[in-house]
Chain A
């Protein structure tokens, strides 16, 4: 009995930090309609700030709590900077650009933290006066846990008072429903948005700070908490603070009890919980369906046209050049171009999902890495020959995509993006932690191609043929009936449903197809490097793919190929710096702010029309459905 009570209390204690972070995300999203992907970084900053402040403010109980509070306020100020400098300019941009920009912020914060605090995990300080143990039914229980248990409901109460008893809070709730109307009543939306963003960031910072005495501050916590927060939000319902509380408690309890019952199965339990909730209540426990005034924009969607005559010649020339490349350049360049080809296939698969399927995935690397690991595991444990492993890799990834996609297609827009990111993080954790099988962080080594394909030039040809075939196949699918059906669904799901298209099934098929193609790229990658590390599944890798698509411009099918080349070049330029993440982050933010249509989009707009790289709409026999004008 006592054991269960203690376990229950410990679950409540760990729910608090999670709740603080999740409520901050929810509040920000409710008003600004921006999912702040840097929210996990704010949580991490809270922990690091808290760590340093506690050390500097002496050992007293007062100093400790003041330090945590200042840490939270400091994170709020960081939020202020991010909102004023970056997000304020992007509220009208498609959400994809907002998400990418906040990802740039993640990179910058990661490197700033690394620079100032170093890579070591910093063990959290004990809370003065609360470091002891109490016995509850004879089960020892850290006193600090009791403090944490109190903090969650206290913050919940404080937020409730703020939103129900102050005019500012009432305006925030009003803006959550219809922000344009709030503006038309004379309320300065910019100020409201900034205030909300600061509040949400400060909550995340507080969450990171209060968990210190139970844990630590480390460089991996940003993505770790982000995925958890997304799961809490999906379960609790976006925009509901009570929902966030409920879900945080539910998930924390599930974790603490799950460990007793099934030590290795807590992740599985979490999925089962999420599955049940998504089936019974797709909007989450306390979430509400979106109303008209708050619909979020999805990504930029343009009409994709089949190739025009000039374009076909252009592609033929490029292919011919690539075919002759080994005769023209040295091995160093060949390896580089092999990388580009692999990434081009990876990016094209994501581009397909985004532009044709209208599904913006933030976890596509799960399938790229999934393919790479499928191949590597087959070679390592089943001594599978190269050719067979490369052939099976995409199917491994496809299987994973089927499982993950089954959940994700139940949601749309930003919810879809959040869930894909959460799943990718889970997939990464499994690979990272399951070292008996995957070797964890040390990776799987010795994954080489068969002898006949092992020369640099030969493997280049293998990659070239496979990647080109993959990209060509994706292109065929875009213009096949399946592709048209997908686009019809993307543009008007109601009408697509009315003409008998099974939307979820079709989206799942697109998700799996994109996963298979990403897995093929992952397989190629594994054999080109001879090794696979968890990094290939990580969230930053997913963002790499998004960045490639963005660099190349989303409205063109060749965009991702150009984007992959541009990205590889950019990456190689930056990687020579110690703080390349910071530079990359700044570049991403700058790109998004300067070219909200995407770099390739801007270039094509000026050059493409002139060169007739795409067929003109008149050349089309079957009409491509055009997205309706939005206000």
Chain B
């Protein structure tokens, strides 16, 4: 579904990712684990065409997307949920969802705003409130819902549990499972091993821009050495 081969990414002159490869197959949830500044967000932004990538290849559905602008990549069906949430603070919840709306794609579910309000009851109540007045947890839900409105065929979810209360994390876990139940693959970036363990099938560990480990989630949970060396747990 999504196949990344040997990419090198830069912010200006700073070389951030070195030879990063990873794959994501249909129906799978794959987590990218790593400490602060390891390069998780950069990997996801590279896929979305939001960071300069000089080498390698990024194929989605068998087609090369490297070099395309972000909006084209999104149109292909890659849904991006940014770590900073980046909801539109002056737009109402409903308007935020409208911004994410895209025509239905073949083989994906056609989500509507009402589906979102079913999935995230909190948002239904806040429908007409400006995004900026929502709590952190509500904003995280809104940013996921906004991306789902684009009927993505694959979702890139950047640290959704960051800074959220355990109750809210539970809710997010429910949603990720619901997405998985729809057969939509997710590339998740996380520092929270507990969260990752609950939803992920496979895991990659990234450190200073290099992929250091790759394996099933179960294997990683049993591998103390890797966890201690790269994940500080």
Contact = CB atoms under 8 A, between A and B. Distances in A.
Interface of A: 167, 170-171, 173-174, 177-178, 180-189, 291, 293, 629-631
B74 A170 contact: no
Interface in B74-104: 74-75, 80, 82, 86, 88-91, 95-96, 98-102
B90 A186 contact: no
Interface in B34-80: 48, 50, 69-71, 74-75, 80
Contacts of B12: 629-631
A189 B71 CA distance: 8
Contacts of A177: 88-91
Given A180-B50, A184-B50, A629-B13, A174 B99 contact: yes
B202 interface: no
30 contacts: A167-B98, A170-B98, A170-B99, A173-B88, A173-B91, A174-B88, A174-B91, A174-B95, A174-B99, A177-B88, A177-B89, A177-B90, A177-B91, A181-B82, A181-B86, A182-B99, A183-B69, A183-B70, A184-B50, A184-B74, A184-B80, A185-B74, A185-B99, A185-B147, A186-B102, A189-B69, A189-B71, A291-B89, A629-B11, A629-B13
B127 to A, nearest CB: 14
Interface string B113-149: 0000000000000000000000000000000001100
Given A170-B95, A180-B70, A630-B12, A185 B100 contact: yes
Contacts of B48: 184
B150 interface: yes
Contacts of A186: 71, 74-75, 102, 150
Nearest to B11: A631
Interface of B: 11-14, 48, 50, 69-71, 74-75, 80, 82, 86, 88-91, 95-96, 98-102, 146-147, 150
Nearest to A189: B71
Contacts of A189: 69, 71
A185 B88 contact: no
Task: Summarize A's interface: helix, strand, loop or mixed.
Answer: helix
Given A171-B99, A629-B13, A631-B11, A187 B71 contact: yes
A630 B82 CA distance: 19
Nearest to B85: A181
A181 B150 CA distance: 13
Contacts of A629: 11-14
Nearest to A177: B88
Contacts of A171: 99
Contacts of B147: 185
B224 to A, nearest CB: 37
Given A170-B98, A185-B80, A186-B150, 9 more contacts: A174-B88, A177-B91, A180-B50, A184-B71, A184-B82, A185-B74, A186-B102, A293-B86, A629-B11
A170 B91 contact: yes
B146 A185 contact: yes
A630 B96 CA distance: 28
B144 to A, nearest CB: 13
A481 to B, nearest CB: 30
A359 B16 CA distance: 32
A178 B102 CA distance: 18
A291 B132 CA distance: 12
Given A170-B99, A180-B50, A293-B86, A185 B150 contact: yes
A554 to B, nearest CB: 19
Nearest to A176: B90
A392 to B, nearest CB: 48
Contacts of A631: 11-12
A187 B99 contact: yes
A630 to B, nearest CB: 7
